[in-house]
Amino acid sequence: MVKKERVIQRKKEQVKRLVEGAAMGLGFFVLLIMIIPGQREGMGNALDVVLGPLAAFVDNFLLTILILSVITGIYTSVIQKYTMNWELIAKSKEYQKQIRELQKEYMEAKKENNKHRLKKIEKKRAEVMRKQTQFSGEMMRQQMKPMIYIMIITIPIFMWMWGHVGTYSGGAVIFPLVGAKELSEFFIIRLRMPYWILWYMICSIPITQVIRKAIGIRSGM
């Protein structure tokens, strides 16, 4: 009976890895499409079937971006909550905390020139760092996994917004510190980042923090 349960569990893990691998492959495929000339417009036009009616109903591109920032904040937080191993992340944070405390103790012992204590702290710190290093590969995987799922949905939404920013007819928008700017102007010229992305960030960051707190995700992931 136990052996049968183990076989079933292994099969479940294999299916899970297969699904995750397929999702990551799709995410990288979406990224590849994004950098191919002309594909950005095609991706945005395809999503217009869904987002076009929303924009027409709202009839204000600023409000449309605000609504989309709420939508992206919800699914981003939900995906992170249910795809990441939070016990593993908590353990990694604990190791980081221990390293900081040991570093503080090390500096105090160095000031006191306490060689015995220094040697003891160095040995303990090396052990903690060794354990943390073992987690590094899995931690990177834990951080990449939700990002792939999120990109599959988010990149097309951004491509749609990029293609429809010209529909905004409300004139210049007044941004804090920088004043009145057109949404299509670039606030980081070298990276070609327009002001509508800044507006999205202004909307998205506080909304996402509220959503994360509501569904029980701690800050400082």
Per-residue pLDDT reduced to its tens digit, 159-203: 888 888 877 766 677 777 777 888 888 776 666 678 888 888 888
149, pLDDT greater than 50: yes
Confidence at 68, pLDDT banded by 50, 70, 90: very high
Q: Where are the domains of the chain?
A: 2-214
Q: Give this prediction's pTM.
A: 0.67
Pairwise CA distance, residues 3 & 9, whole Å? 10
Buried b (16+ CB within 10 A) or exposed e, 78-114: ebbeebbeeeebeebeebeebeeebeebbeebeeeee
Rg (CA), the chain: 24
- For residue 49, the Cα-to-chain-centroid distance in whole angstroms is 26
